[in-house]
Amino acid sequence: MGRVWRAYDPDLEVTVAIKELKEQFRDQANLERFYREAQIAAIAAVRVGASCGDVDAAARQVLAGYKLDRHFTHSTGHGLGLEVHEDPRLARGQKARLEPGFVVTIEPGVYMAGVGGIRIEDDVAVLPGNTEVLTRIPRDLIEL
């Protein structure tokens, strides 16, 4: 969620624990660190011409290495624009290619039944020759 700017929708997400985190969540293969590693891998895969499926696969590969892929039950992200959820979908098997000027979210959520979950969402601009992470908020897990 975020503030609309000149008719364009942002989409940002952080993870907040509203009570003391269960030790199981804390100990679950250092979930926060592994999640962030998957997110960074997906962001690194974002570039002009990359397939949306390849961006998704980058996150899945990291999580699979930590045996967390079965807890990643949705797509890595989606396009942003005049609507908060637009094409392209960054998901398994998606053949669409990223083009200059696209803005996409990177949010590979991990959810463990009876334990909790984590999803931190970044907005990323696809630019000729590079990408830019537009998100300017802290990404650390917040404990209240």
Q: Is residue 18 exposed (0-12), middle (13-18) or buried (19+ Cβ within 10 Å)?
A: exposed
The pLDDT > 70 percentage for the chain reads 73
Task: Fill in the amino acid letter for 5.
Answer: W
The residues, ordered by sequence, that sit 6+ positions from 84 with a Cβ below 8 Å of its Cβ are: 9, 11
* Residue count of the chain: 144
Q: What is the pLDDT of residues 65-112, one digit of tens each?
A: 988 889 998 899 989 876 666 789 999 999 999 999 999 999 998 888
Q: How far is 56 from 39, CA to CA, in rounded Å? A: 10
* Confidence band for 29, pLDDT divided at 50, 70 and 90: very low
* Confidence band for 16, pLDDT divided at 50, 70 and 90: low
